[in-house]
Amino acid sequence: MIKVLVVEDSAVVRELLVHILSSDPGIRIVGTANDGESAIDAAQRLRPDVITMDIHMPKMDGLEATRRIMEVHPVPIVIVSGSSDPDDVAMTFRATEAGAVAFLRKPPGIGHPEHEITARELTQTVGLMSEIKVVRRWPQMRRETAAARPPEIIPIRTPVKVGVVALGASTGGPPALQTILAGLPGDFPAPVLIVQHMASGFVHGFAEWLGQSSALPVRLAAHGETILPGHVYIAPDEFQMKVERGGKITLSKDAPESSLRPSVSYLFRSLVESYGGEAVAILLTGMGRDGAEELKLLRDRGAVTIAQDKESSVVHGMPGEAIKLDAATLILAPDKIAAVLAGLANNPAGLANNRDKKENQ
């Protein structure tokens, strides 16, 4: 049985979450809390396997409660948010920095057309997250001190022409992507494309949150636009994203792949056709195997391919599957991935190739 602590300040929503989770025979609700302070106390007393966490609560919000719990009694925390306000969504992503492993929208009430789908997503996510081994987090002050260190740069020894960098991620991806983008210089010589699996409605706030710590402009991709060096493009909700020859983005309603839209596999295949060996493709933490086979195709074409290492991954599914296929030329933690990419800024071949492209547009 998976022991779950439900943290939610609204009595109506709390009752709904308890009802949904209790309907799964493999889940047992061991307690509830209506504010952050009570959540910390309950986490220590009840020792749940998973906590569902609201963001806006009295006395102490969900962000601070997540930080405290991950410092004193680490446990997988799933943020369940009911607001699409950009500030609230940004707080959700800050909770992932603090150690939350997943985030979902609050399911609508019984009778709503989307109730069954969102309820199933909640129970499935709680079940999957219960298997994750989380680690104790450093207190906030110590983390900020460590983050203040200047970024490392690992120079690329062999001249590499890089037309594009593409990253795919799922569970645990937001903080990994934040680390990587924060380590890139403002004159980074290639466009950066991202597919991040996430619940619908969060992607706009996700782009804003990433942009706050990146020297590069970050935005949602638009159909038909030409990708530019030093810009970051994120696949929007419910669209497959690919890059055509000439560097134009195509967004489509093509069928989901392995129930995923956007899909990392879909993006990576387009790189095989459009860029071949002049690409860097990176597969980060996440469940399943989305992108693994396509990463191998890119490596076979001569592209630089990177998989996140097991130690730094929340879930080593996607990068682990790629490693099994011998699809990765490098296996690294996010800070080291950033250092390798930052080294591309000092690569004369890659830099010249993309600067010429930018000047001609």
- The domain spans of the chain are 2-139, 153-359
Q: Is the pLDDT of residue 133 over 60?
A: yes
| Gap between the Cα atoms of 46 and 226, Å rounded | 53
Beta strand pairing call for 248-252 and 240-244: antiparallel
pLDDT category of residue 136 using cuts at 50, 70 and 90:
low
Q: Is the pLDDT of residue 91 over 90?
A: no
Question: What is the set of active-site residues?
Answer: 170, 197, 290
Higher pLDDT, 136 or 274: 274
pLDDT category of residue 339 using cuts at 50, 70 and 90:
very high
Q: What is the mean pLDDT of residues 211-233?
A: 96
| Gap between the Cα atoms of 108 and 288, Å rounded | 27
Q: What is the mean pLDDT of residues 284-293?
A: 95
Beta strands in 170-275 (DSSP E): 192-196, 218-220, 232-234, 240-244, 248-252
pLDDT category of residue 132 using cuts at 50, 70 and 90:
confident
Q: Is the pLDDT of residue 358 over 90?
A: no
> Fold identical between 2-139 and 153-359?
yes
Q: Which of 45-54, 116-125, 158-167 has the lowest mean pLDDT?
A: 158-167
| Gap between the Cα atoms of 96 and 176, Å rounded | 10
Token readout for 298 is 């890119």
Q: What is the DSSP letter of 241?
A: E
CA-wise closest residue to 162 among 336, 357, 329, 308: 357
pLDDT category of residue 199 using cuts at 50, 70 and 90:
confident
| Gap between the Cα atoms of 241 and 250, Å rounded | 6
CATH 3.30.470.20 assigned to domain 153-359? The reply is no
| Gap between the Cα atoms of 164 and 273, Å rounded | 13
Percentage of residues of the chain with pLDDT beyond 70 = 87
Higher pLDDT, 56 or 223: 223
Which homologous superfamily does the CATH classification assign to the domain defined by 2-139?
Answer: Response regulator (3.40.50.2300)
Token readout for 332 is 């690294």
Higher pLDDT, 272 or 149: 272
| Gap between the Cα atoms of 268 and 266, Å rounded | 6
Q: What is the DSSP letter of 202?
A: -
Q: Which of 21-25, 58-62, 288-292 has the lowest mean pLDDT?
A: 58-62
pLDDT category of residue 152 using cuts at 50, 70 and 90:
low
Q: What is the mean pLDDT of residues 96-123?
A: 91
Q: Say if residues 118 and 105 touch (Cβ distance below 8 Å).
A: yes
If 0-12 CB within 10 Å is exposed, 13-18 middle and 19+ buried, where does residue 135 land? Answer: exposed
Token readout for 240 is 């497959």
Mean pLDDT of the chain: 88
Token readout for 304 is 């630089």
Q: Is the pLDDT of residue 46 over 80?
A: yes
pLDDT category of residue 359 using cuts at 50, 70 and 90:
very low
If 0-12 CB within 10 Å is exposed, 13-18 middle and 19+ buried, where does residue 26 land? Answer: exposed
Q: What is the mean pLDDT of residues 24-51?
A: 96
Q: Which of 212-216, 273-277, 345-349 has the lowest mean pLDDT?
A: 345-349
pLDDT category of residue 150 using cuts at 50, 70 and 90:
low
Q: Is the pLDDT of residue 32 over 80?
A: yes
Q: Give tens-digit pLDDT for 163-193.
A: 999 999 999 999 999 999 999 999 999 999 9
Q: Is the pLDDT of residue 57 over 50?
A: yes
Percentage of residues of the chain with pLDDT beyond 90 = 72
Q: Which helix (H) or strand (E) holds 339?
A: helix 334-344
DSSP 202-229: -HHHHHHHHHHT-SS-EEE--TTPBP-T
